[in-house]
């Protein structure tokens, strides 16, 4: 499912809507963006053409990806771009971008949060495959 606030968004978010954590957070951002007609599009990696992103499903499921003005970002830098595009979250982008905080946030995301969420994704996929 693709949620679009404008026809030609400058910012596009790729996320895993089958992940309860990812879907909860990104759905919140999508509703906020849509209500304010912000130029942000939200693509579910399960229904999106991943070829447009230059990513395969496994790579895309490992972390958040955002394109902004033609440049691809992932992880905390992707969150920073997304938050910067939403007025309510600009303060968070500024805070997390501070030296020291950005490095800590990136380490926590890269080595703890993203791998844990990805492993949960793999467990859900295996369970779904066994159920078929």
Span 1-44, pLDDT tens digits:
344 444 556 899 999 999 999 999 999 999 999 999 999 999 99
Band of residue 132 on the pLDDT scale cut at 50, 70, 90: confident
Model's pTM, two decimal places?
Answer: 0.89
Q: What is the overall mean pLDDT for the chain?
A: 92
- Helix 114-131 and helix 20-35: axis angle, to 10°? 110
pLDDT digits (tens, 9 = 90+) for 75-104: 999 999 999 999 999 999 999 999 999 999
Ordered structural domains, the chain, with CATH: 2-131 (3.40.30)
Residue 61: the pLDDT is 95
The token duo for 58 is 């496994």
Residue 7: the pLDDT is 52
Band of residue 47 on the pLDDT scale cut at 50, 70, 90: confident
First to last CA, the chain: 23
């Amino acid at each position: 499912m693709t949620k679009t606030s404008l026809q030609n968004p400058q910012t596009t978010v790729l996320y895993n809507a089958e992940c309860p954590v990812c879907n909860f957070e990104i759905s919140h951002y999508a509703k906020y963006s849509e209500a304010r007609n912000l130029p942000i599009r939200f693509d579910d990696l399960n229904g999106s053409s991943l070829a447009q992103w230059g990513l395969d499903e496994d790579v895309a499921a490992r972390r958040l990806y955002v394109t902004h003005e033609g440049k691809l970002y992932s992880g905390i830098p992707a969150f920073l771009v997304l938050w910067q595009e939403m007025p309510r979250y600009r303060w968070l982008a500024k805070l997390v971008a501070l030296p020291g905080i950005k490095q800590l946030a990136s380490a926590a995301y890269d080595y703890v949060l993203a791998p844990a969420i990805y492993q949960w994704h793999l467990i859900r996929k295996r369970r779904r495959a066994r159920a078929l």
